[in-house]
Copies of this chain bind each other. A is one copy, B any other.
């Protein structure tokens, strides 16, 4: 199967389907069941999965093991992915200890900081290395993804160093936009924006409007 280009909203729902699939103990699953677990409707599930060329079997549903492999491959999750944290402040600490990564095949294997008081510490079992060893450690440990948790002022320099070291996927938590070459994917997690979106759905919910799309924000 080749990696298909998918609608943005479908990409955002695939990891949620994947979680439901990995939590079920059945060998097959209906679109209704998958939809209920993911908080969407069954027609949406069928449409999303049809983008992967997966149509299920009438009266039986989808083969769980096959669908897990198909979604994982589509998302590029076939192998364990190694992650580095750049910037070990409060957020970096929190992410180093975050339980939700390992369960999804991500392993935090490196952390970097410029502060000599932080360098040499262990966070979540990982040694904090000095920032100027980034290229060496990224290469030695096979890091593919980075969590950028530096202050805003340091975000671009950290991005440049990651790109130079060969990291092509960056999740940016710093409150600053960063520029990167076209072959590098940068996703910005802006928690202020998340709160603003929440405000809207809070108003909708309080007004008693149907909130079928109000629950699932950044994935789950």
Contact = CB atoms under 8 A, between A and B. Distances in A.
Given A185-B211, A202-B168, A196 B75 contact: yes
Contacts of A169: 198-199, 201-202, 205
Contacts of A191: 95, 98, 100-101, 171, 189
Given A3-B203, A190-B220, A220-B190, A18 B196 contact: yes
Contacts of A98: 91, 175, 191-192
Given A75-B200, A203-B76, A215 B187 contact: yes
B202 A197 contact: no
Interface in A76-111: 76-77, 81, 83, 89-91, 93-95, 97-101, 103-104, 106
Interface stretch (A9-17, A62-70, A129-137): A9-17
A204 B76 CA distance: 10
A193 interface: yes
B188 A220 contact: yes
Closest 6 CB pairs of A and B: A193-B219, A169-B202, A90-B94, A187-B217, A188-B220, A190-B220
A126 B127 CA distance: 31
Given A91-B91, A219-B193, A198 B187 contact: yes
A176 B3 CA distance: 30
A52 to B, nearest CB: 12
